[in-house]
Structure 1
């Protein structure tokens, strides 16, 4: 098997695992690449094929349905993944058409025999006869509404398109919807963090505009830098850095403060909190209900020379059992993850509007019990990697109504602006809150929502 064929096989098998077993590409793909012994170039090809196909899956399914003259639900799933991989190469890469068709047909043959191979050959050759622009015209014409057209062209479920529009409209920026959808389909740049007082930004790196601990390398291998720093330099989205720093820098730190990271997995924000606690003389505790993710938190903390106990409890019980205890609490709540679709593209196909009510109820319970675990004067940062208004402003509004005059808001927008070298351009929200909403298309971060609440 040639190395290029091996790269396509790795991509195909990863797609199959994502669709068949609900695997996560970001966890599975590196292992598959290593096991296959791919070169750097072929590993890059496998990565592009995997993530590109997942990001554009909705568009490619519309193309396949037109070319095959049947719904994709009528196509064998294993053959459909071979077709998706082929369509991505035909419409979105410089791979030669004959190679894209022939190798995808062979994948279909392995999945379904001669009949599947003949079907895949016919569909892909039909697609190869028109330009990518022609196919976008065909797809747009197949839509039944303006929102469905956006969803098909930009490969997002319609409900996500509508949720994004509402979140942008809350800032008076609904016209930026297409820019956001476009950004969701682009590979995110690798951003790194140098843990405060433990590591410095390399001389040849470029500092990020908003986080004072963030930077991007001009070249080289990020993983080797992480290893050589013993975990004191990390790969971490700038929005994630800001979420942790918003809590630690909202108010001056008093030595001896007690902090809690309530939903800590996988530990990126926890490591920043631990470094900041070390500088300020605070004591940090962490909690993560999932044992596997708690293990990741412990790994993330290995580079910080302080003791951080990590409990494995339901965050609601953990907070409820510690009333009036903490000076600062981070609630990085479980959410739909709609803010990280660049990074986890399969998530857009796994969530549905029906998931939101249960998540918002959990978020409310976590945030309310966290408020109860604060000392008077203590601050909680409520963070979601989602811009969905029900998960962000809706949850905070409910908690403020519940706690009334016992709770006041600190403007997260002002805190983040004070941290930043460049103006992050965080406009007021239509609900009058101080919530900060970061965006892929505006800030080159995940769409992180950050609110700061202080117990009076």
Structure 2
């Protein structure tokens, strides 16, 4: 039965007024791992924060380490990745619309639902721990609501909820696969277009996006070998990159590794390494000492390029528009022959021309969704058009800055056709440059398709979904 809410003058004289600062109530600390996970989801929601940047600080704040840190990471990242699926289940189990649910309560329900559907945590433990979180932050009334919702969630398994709530697999195979793998439909549709598949391979691609990825390191050339880095860190040499090392997911904060702290190694996906190395593999006639990274922040590719060109007696100019990101480039390339310039890559004010130019353009990041758990729900289809315009302008600028006979690598961490082949075909038509077959410059990497560009995939190559096209000027 619905009760009429009492008016402002009907409150008993001695009762306390409502707590207007409830959203900022101090969270309980008797479950620091789940508290850190909840605070991560709150930061993503309130401040558009990045989960992978927020969580490490919260783990330190709440003194969470070891297995508890692994639990917090799994819950925070997993809940952020699966938000669409979790919200659909919560909505089905709630007697009120999600936009009417207290925002922090909804974050807690996502954590609880994720534990019940996608972890081995016993259902009663997931319910109890979530209810305790809600009680500590929002009081007993909303704790009761959380208890009721989660008990309904526990009446079905994840596969049973998918069968109940997902679009019909026969009439909408893309929508069904997107729901089952917790992706927005528009992203799944873009993947399906590139893969030319709406069945098993699309499912594999989205499932790989929905899994927690391994940590990839790159060994700085001239400082340490991949074998040495693997021995120090306990990782394995990467299958394709001669400078790459893989660490198991959940191996801890890679930034705390001694080789990373000393600048001998960096955290960098193997796909990024391969795309960077492809630029350096193309043979040039004449001079080969002046290289350019046109979109250098935060500095991962500039570090690898800078180390290689320094070994050969050349130099790299690194352009970054944002000062704080330019500082990250300076830090990443310390000790190398790298000159960092704060400028817009579309008109950087550089003199002369370059032998090799990398355009690692800003993009939707759809190829790195497994590493950026909240990104799939933050990006919208309308974001693509503005990014494509910027990408086209940056690539055209790179062509102008490259000498005759030089080479340009256009790289984006996205498989979206508009950002990849669409941008390249337009610039090739406008400038008359020649597109090279990039596949020979990814040696021993299988399943590269028909070319001339290369699209890497998590489910095929174990990398982010990096795209690379090579242009001869």
Could you say which residue in structure 2 is the equivalent of 1:271? 303
Aligned counterpart in structure 1 of residue 209 of structure 2, from 180, 184, 199: 184
Alignment of 1:308-347 (within 5 A): 308-318=338-348, 321-322=349-350, 325-347=353-375
**Could you tell me how far apart the structure 1 residues matched to 2:270 and 2:402 are?**
27
Kindly tell me: are residues 202 and 140 of structure 1, through their superposed partners in 2, closer, same or farther at Cα, counting changes over 3 Å?
Answer: same
Following TM superposition, by how much is the alpha carbon of 1:70 offset from its aligned partner in structure 2, in angstroms? Answer: 4.4
SS at 2:317's partner residue? strand
Alignment of 1:90-239 (within 5 A): 90-140=116-166, 145-169=172-196, 175-202=200-227, 204=231, 205-217=235-247, 222-227=254-259, 230-239=262-271
Structure 2 CA distance, aligned partners of 1:270 and 1:138? 48
Q: Secondary structure in 1 aligned to 2:227?
A: coil
Post-superposition Cα deviations, 1:120-139, rounded to whole Å, max 9, x if no partner, equal 11000111232333222222
Matched, 1:83 2:109: yes
- State the number of aligned residues: 439
Gaps of 5+ in 1: none
Structure 1 residue 15 corresponds to structure 2 residue 36: no
Displacement of 1:4: 7.0
Counterpart of 2:471? 453
Q: Is the 8 A contact 1:264 1:286 kept in 2?
A: yes
Which residue of structure 2 aligns with residue 240 of structure 1? Answer: 272
Structure 2 residues not aligned, in runs of 5+: 1-26
Moved more, 328-337 or 145-154: 145-154
Q: 2:346 aligns to what SS in structure 1?
A: helix
Q: Bigger CA drift: 220-229 or 378-387?
A: 220-229
| 1:299 paired to 2:321 | no
Decide whether the 8 Å contact of 1:210 with 1:424 is kept in 2.
no
Deviations 1:35-72 (A, max 9, x none): 11112111111101101111111111111111115442
Deviates more, 1:325-334 or 1:145-154: 145-154
Inter-partner Cα distance in structure 2 for 1:447 and 1:103 = 36
Q: 2:429 aligns with which of 401, 413, 427?
A: 401
User: With CA pairs under 8 Å and 6+ residues apart, which has the higher RCO, 1 or 2?
Assistant: 1
Cα distance in 2 for partners of 1:46, 1:392 equals 36
Show CA shifts across 1:191-210 (max 9, x none).
11112222112354422121
Deviation digits for residues 319-358 of structure 1 (CA, Å, limit 9, x no counterpart) = xx33651111111000000000000021111111111110
SS at match of 1:202: helix
Encode CA deviations 1:271-298: one digit per residue, 9 max, x unaligned. Answer: 0000110122221010111111111111
Report the structure, 1 or 2, having the larger helix content.
Answer: 1
- Work out whether 1:411 is the aligned partner of 2:429: no
- Is the contact between residue 29 and residue 35 of structure 2 (CA under 8 Å) also seen in structure 1? no
Instruction: Report the CA distance between 1:441 and its aligned residue.
Output: 0.5
